[in-house]
């Protein structure tokens, strides 16, 4: 568990195509008040990494995190996409903002094939690597992030209704409601169903005890 958290932390530090246009939000405001908090997921990872003499409750929580992260990473590994290894950061972002842990990876796979297309293409065209970290098409790929972790936290904060700029679209909604706001049915009629299908696949991804133990 600690080995994986250390690797996830390193990756966070070193390293849908729709939202801003479909709900008429200024892309410059979508990321409001997130940048100052972009290290919070890293801090959560640090805390888990440095925890010693864990009590049973903490051990159980870390084991659950490891299992979720292993499923996400195994799914991305099977698909051979850039987000392999980012599972724990996604789990931490979802946990912080009380989102379904499968939501971020599912949207990322749907929107940019796990970081292969869309905003990475923008990065190639502009020469700005920070677009590569926008794996959700957030702000119609007009928004850059300093790291994957920064992008995960930004999306989680918005989808959970915790960004005042976008809260009216997401606050208090369940997963289907969130997805209907993220990509309205008049744009893609079955978008929630498409994402939920990916979520179920991630949840049902087979992992071994060894894979969990390595996290």
Q: What is residue 178's three-state secondary structure? A: helix
Long-range CB pairs of 116-120 (<8 Å, 24+ gap) are 116/81, 116/82, 118/17, 120/82
What number of residues does the chain have?
Answer: 215
Q: At what angle do helices 103-112 and 87-96 cross, to 10 degrees?
A: 120
Domain that holds residue 40: 2-213
**Three-state secondary structure call for residue 53:** coil
Could you give the number of structural domains in the chain?
Answer: 1
Each residue's pLDDT expressed in tens, for the chain with a length of 215 residues: 544 444 444 333 333 444 433 333 334 345 544 444 445 666 666 666 565 566 888 889 999 999 999 999 999 999 999 999 999 999 999 999 999 999 999 999 999 999 999 999 999 999 999 999 999 999 999 999 999 999 999 999 999 999 999 999 999 999 999 999 999 999 999 999 999 999 999 999 999 887 777 76
Q: Nearest to residue 16, comparing CAs of 102, 84, 114, 99?
A: 114
pTM for this predicted structure: 0.79
Reference 167, options 178, 180, 151; nearest CA is 178
Q: What is the CATH number of the domain that holds 157?
A: 1.10.530.10
Residue 82 and residue 88 in contact, taking contact as beta carbons nearer than 8 Å: no
Give the 3-state secondary structure percentages of the chain, helix then strand then coil, rounded to 5: 60, 0, 40
């Amino acid at each position: 568990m600690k080995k994986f958290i250390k690797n996830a932390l390193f990756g966070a530090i070193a390293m849908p195509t729709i939202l801003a246009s479909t709900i008429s939000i200024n892309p410059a405001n979508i990321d409001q008040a997130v940048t100052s908090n972009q290290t919070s997921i890293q801090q959560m990872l640090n805390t888990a990494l440095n925890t010693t003499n864990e009590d049973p409750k903490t051990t159980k929580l870390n084991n659950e995190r490891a299992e979720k992260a292993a499923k996400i990473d195994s799914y991305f590994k099977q698909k051979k996409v850039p987000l392999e290894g980012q599972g724990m950061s996604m789990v931490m972002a979802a946990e912080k903002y009380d989102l379904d842990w499968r939501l971020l990876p599912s949207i990322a796979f749907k929107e940019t094939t796990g970081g292969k297309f869309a905003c990475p293409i923008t990065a190639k065209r502009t020469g700005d690597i920070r677009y590569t970290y926008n794996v959700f098409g957030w702000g119609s790929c007009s928004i850059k992030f300093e790291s994957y972790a920064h992008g995960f936290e930004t999306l989680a904060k918005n989808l959970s209704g915790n960004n005042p700029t976008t809260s009216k679209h997401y606050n208090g909604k369940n997963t289907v409601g969130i997805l209907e706001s993220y990509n309205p049915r008049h744009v893609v009629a079955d978008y929630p169903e498409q994402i939920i299908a990916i979520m179920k696949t991630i949840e049902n991804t087979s992992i071994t005890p060894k894979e969990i133990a390595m996290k």
